A and B are shown apart, each in its own frame.
Chain A
Amino acid sequence: MAKQLEEVLNKKFSRRDFLRESVAATAAVAGLSFVGRESTLASADSVAPAEAAAVADAAEGGKWVAAPCWHNCGGKCLVRACVKDGVIIRQGTDNFNTDDEINRQHRACLRGFSQQYQARGLDRLKYPMKRRHWSPDDRNPELRGQDEWERISWDEAATYIHDELERINSTYGDNAILALGSEANSLLNKLNINYLNTWSTSSWGTWYAPGPLGWGDGCNYYDCNNDRLDFMNCDYVVAFGYNPAWSALGNATNYAVGWKKAGVRFIIFDPIYTDTTAILDAKWIPIRPGTDMAAMIAMSYVLLEEDNNGSLIDWDFLDRCCVGQDKDHMPADVKTDENYFDYLRGEYDGVPKTPEWAERITGIPADTLREVARILGRNNNVAVLSSWASARTYDTEQLPQTAICMAAMGGHIGKSGNCVGPTAWNHTNNFGPRLVKVGSTGPNGATDGSGKATMVCETQVWNAVLGEPFNPTNIFNDLNDAGPNGWKEAVAGYDLTKRVEYITAPVKMIWTTNKAKLTTCEGAKKGVEAFRSVEFVVGQGHFLTATNKYADIVLPITTNWEREGAYVWEGYMNRDILLINRKVVEPFYESRSDAEAMMTIGEKFGLSPDLWGTVSATQLLFNSVVTSTVIKEDGKTWENLVSVTESDIKEWGVEGEPQEGRVPISKYMEDGLYRVDRYVGDNFGYIDKKEFREDPEANPIGTNSGKIEFACQTWADILNSQGFSEEEYSAIPKYRAPTQGYEDTFVDGNLDGEKTAFPLQCINPHYQRRAHSIFDNVPWLREALANPVYLSKKDAENRGIVDGDTVKISSRYGETLRHAYVTARMMPGVVGLPHGPWIRIDEETGIDHAGSENYITGNVARGLGCSGYNTLNVEVTKYDGEAIPEDVEIPQTILFE
């Protein structure tokens, strides 16, 4: 007989009693209360009768849904998800467009292809959670970041947040709440609460606000360089810190390879021999971080010194189109006698800005600077691309002006094959007005309140939380929004004649939403202190990010995959294409959208959800799609992007009218991408400032004088009244040794003297594993890309460091650990610590184990409040503690080791 049955029969006990107890115990279990639908099965009919039936009929395959990458890497590529019964069974990309030298498919990179590992990751927040040792009566703020958690309901979370918001606002008044990110702003506004919010130049550096110079910032205003096909007409591209192969991936590099094939030669100034430099077979000019201005100034000097009756300088262009270069061309508004050429000659400081002068600062041999300067002469067609990276440095507020002046001297503005401007990851290396435009959603019926934000620069935010005075100006942020043609209105409300007054704020609550600011703001060590200093912290997002980890309550938020579709912001997108995404899957567990989270909390205050809008998300999406337009073959007139039929409108369940258009709406929504195909000689080209060059009087640029300003009084006035530095700025651009730059690696900045305890310069390259801090938690990507610190062979050898050693990178502000990657591609004296890892602090030693750049940056406010990432002095030593594991070996999510 069977074993268990036999044993039961042979066992000496009362089977009757056991059975009775078993029945009673089962009843007792049934009587236990149950929370959480996630652990309960129910009758399929009661859960999803229709869907269940439909799925039962579904065959093997799934349905493809357009799900373009929405992340902030600048690639803006197509991702598609094959969905079967709510499960992604595979991912795809642009495989339906043609792919040739001119017109590329917009394929996703490794990050886009790992989207499902993020959206369906094990570490997604599933439920609202509360820190176990936080309650309104017993806060234990010092335990933030190290406490246990407990699950709470949305209703409990909303009640806590309501009570704390009300208490803090009524007790402490204005600016007691710091909103990090933008998602809480709508609620604070509707509650008529005045709060603090932040701004920063973290991406742009000092290219943040070049409007007064008549230039765009390269992001919001992107017609600041020529169209990509026109780049084939360059003889040279001279670029500073230009590495799309790492920063954006995909077509930005593809396009540049196309230019190279057309015969364009590249010269790239960068401390790293980058993949971009390699693939373009560029001439690499290693340069010390933070010194690009000195190189530009010295090359401008060479143009002036070596010019022989216009052999190098385009005097006609300077005469007609520029002011401030010499005493005969001074703009009317300047308050100085100084002109740029006399500055170059050393008339004001006794120092001619020779290549020899620059060599000592930049590390570039003087002869190399001379050689490149001659290339920058008027007889070559040259595009000068100044990346945001080289401007992401302290005390380089006049770098954009310097780059523009240098290019202007060679006449490299306003004609085919010639331009100067900022570049970054945005717009896929493709400049000019959009060829396919996002339409309007129309009004959504939202009602605003009167709560307003006081803006604090992120370089000062942690100190502001800790009670220190901060500069409350918002002028730079306004300038960034206003661009080259709107800046005059933007500055009208500011007094540019006297210094702005610093204020303090009684910050008692931090509400962190869509931007992981503890990871992405400078001086995170102080940031942790700031988080632990307040009475209440709310975090919301997809994960327990390094920022949310320091919250008292965290709220689970849906990803874009779980929301009604929307356009990917066109401000980042290649002008040739328009991407759109649709809802891919239902919300993950109890997650809600940010807006729904605000409505949930708002209801506790008696606010109606209608205040956030009365028009359905589907209607808004439909409205924006049907009003999108695409340029016609003539390059002048426009037509509807999509055609719409009565049955489309019925299917969408919206109000609308049938219309004619380039493609059927159903096809566009399924593809997720429309591309305007280009050819050499088409009507879609763009030459920046072409009309200006031809007739500057009739077509002035956005500067005060209408001309290119070698002396820009407005910019100097803005910096001197609203800025963060004590020292005065002149209207002409002048090199100043940057805080935490090369000069600061020497005692007292004396280049002939002793080195300080932080003799190396650290830069923060964008890293392919992440889009800023996004994706850092994805195991797939961690496995592919290890995120080491890059050291030059020479610096490593001097320190006895070999590949794979655990090393400690120390600055004046903090310490972090990484594995060393020793390479000859790094300029000696420079350390490359990739940007964006999620901080992982060892509480005992205070050392970060994640390689977070922001744990070792400082809270330094200079100039326009620039985030000076690429100016940081460090030392690197072999770590004498326990070696760290590879990131991929670390359990997903964070800090549980």
Chain B
Amino acid sequence: MTEQKREAAELLLSNRLFLYSLLHKLFGREPDAELLNILAEKHTGEAFGLLSGEDGDVLDRTATFLGEIREDRKNPAFLEEVKAEYTRLFIGPESLVAPPWESVYGQKDAMLFQESTLEVRNTYRRFGLLPEGYPRVADDSLALELHFMALLARHGLGAFYAGDAEALRSDLDGSGEFLEKHLLIWVPKFLECMKGTKSRVLYPQMCLVLDAFLQKDAETVQELRDAVELA
């Protein structure tokens, strides 16, 4: 690999670590002011924008959308609205327009803890991982799957710096496979359901961003995988 290409790869690896880490916390916890601050940072918009395919696509427009938060967050009521939206869309206890679990979309019955959940769990196991709440929580929640991607991204970046091509390849393979078999299959369906909400504070829009990001990341992973191969 040329030095230039190495630099570009480093940047992409670092960028996806940031974005997966951010998305994990975005979808995995009730929002707070610090999270809004990170979303409002100029770099965050640029990080999504880096992956934009053409002008005006979702990732290109993300920076503008996130830029609005810079103003919105000054109003204390905004954080309350974001919190309420998060609870309404991802916690309940009322019905969720787009339940954030894979088993809801892949199987014929909308229910937690199905055989597809076991597949996800066993993938985690292959990488020495399990949900902290095992076995009380469903393994295939959006937040857990994003955490899995973030952990692989972190491990992969570490391998990159250590010059461990085999480990990097394994992490990229794992990420690519998980995207293909899981996230890229169900997140588009999840997004379709999410479009059914009338709420438009932060999360429905970020679901759109998530979907676009995942599709682009599948390309990133493939390119990096090939680059490692060439090196």
Contacts and interface: CB of A to CB of B under 8 A. Distances in A.
Given A5-B5, A122-B110, A895 B133 contact: no
Contacts of B111: 116-117, 120-122
Nearest to A895: B94
B38 A19 contact: no
B188 interface: no
Interface in A632-689: none
A176 to B, nearest CB: 27
Contact of B88 (A3, A21, A148, A587): A148
Contact of A892 (B12, B95, B223): B95
Give the residue among A33, A39, A45, A88 with the most B Cβ atoms within 10 A: A39
A26 B129 contact: no
Interface in A267-282: none
Contacts of B151: 41
Interface in A109-154: 116-117, 120-127, 129, 132, 148-151
A89 B24 CA distance: 29
Interface string A17-60: 01101111110111111111111111111011001100110000
B202 interface: no
B209 to A, nearest CB: 16
B219 A893 contact: no
Contact of B94 (A5, A8, A25, A896): A896
A39 B144 contact: yes
Given A5-B8, A36-B29, A589 B223 contact: no
A37 B88 contact: no
B99 interface: yes
B79 interface: no
Contact of A56 (B8, B41, B101, B125): B125
Interface in B111-142: 111-115, 117-118, 121, 124-125, 128-137, 141
Given A39-B144, A41-B124, A586 B135 contact: yes
Contacts, number: 240
A779 interface: yes
Interface string B73-98: 00000000001100110011111110
Contact of B87 (A149, A589, A894): A149
Contacts of A132: 84
Contacts of A151: 30, 87, 91
B50 A2 contact: no
Given A2-B227, A37-B131, A120 B94 contact: no
A126 B92 contact: yes
Contact of B41 (A5, A25, A127): A25
B57 interface: no
B118 A150 contact: no
A252 interface: no
Interface in A822-850: none
A23 B14 contact: yes
A554 B125 contact: no
A891 B47 contact: no
A455 B43 CA distance: 65
A41 B223 contact: no
A87 B118 contact: yes
A4 interface: yes
Contacts of A586: 135-136
B132 A41 contact: yes
A492 interface: no
A52 B130 contact: yes
Give the residue among A3, A84, A85 with the most B Cβ atoms within 10 A: A85
Interface string B26-44: 0111101011001001011
B100 to A, nearest CB: 10
Contact of B129 (A43, A892, A896): A43
A31 to B, nearest CB: 8
A556 to B, nearest CB: 9
A487 interface: no
A15 interface: yes
Interface in B3-23: 4-5, 7-12, 14-15, 17-18, 21-22
A586 B137 CA distance: 10
Contacts of A121: 111-112
Give the residue among A84, A87, A548, A590 with the most B Cβ atoms within 10 A: A87
Contacts of A2: 223, 226-227
Contacts of A41: 124, 129-132, 144, 147-148, 151
B18 A44 contact: no
Contacts of B5: 1, 5, 9
B187 interface: no
Interface string A739-777: 000000000000000000000000000000000000000
A21 B134 CA distance: 35
Given A87-B115, A88-B113, A120-B112, A22 B43 contact: yes
Contacts of B46: 18, 21
Given A26-B14, A29-B38, A85 B121 contact: yes
B182 interface: no
Contacts of A116: 111
Contacts of A21: 43, 46
A266 interface: no
A15 B11 contact: yes
A588 interface: yes
25 contacts: A5-B12, A18-B50, A19-B14, A22-B43, A28-B38, A32-B25, A32-B34, A33-B32, A33-B34, A34-B25, A36-B28, A40-B132, A45-B128, A87-B115, A87-B117, A120-B112, A122-B96, A125-B92, A129-B93, A150-B30, A151-B30, A589-B136, A590-B136, A779-B110, A891-B96
Given A150-B30, A543-B93, A894-B95, 10 more contacts: A2-B223, A5-B5, A25-B41, A33-B32, A41-B124, A41-B148, A47-B132, A150-B83, A544-B92, A586-B135
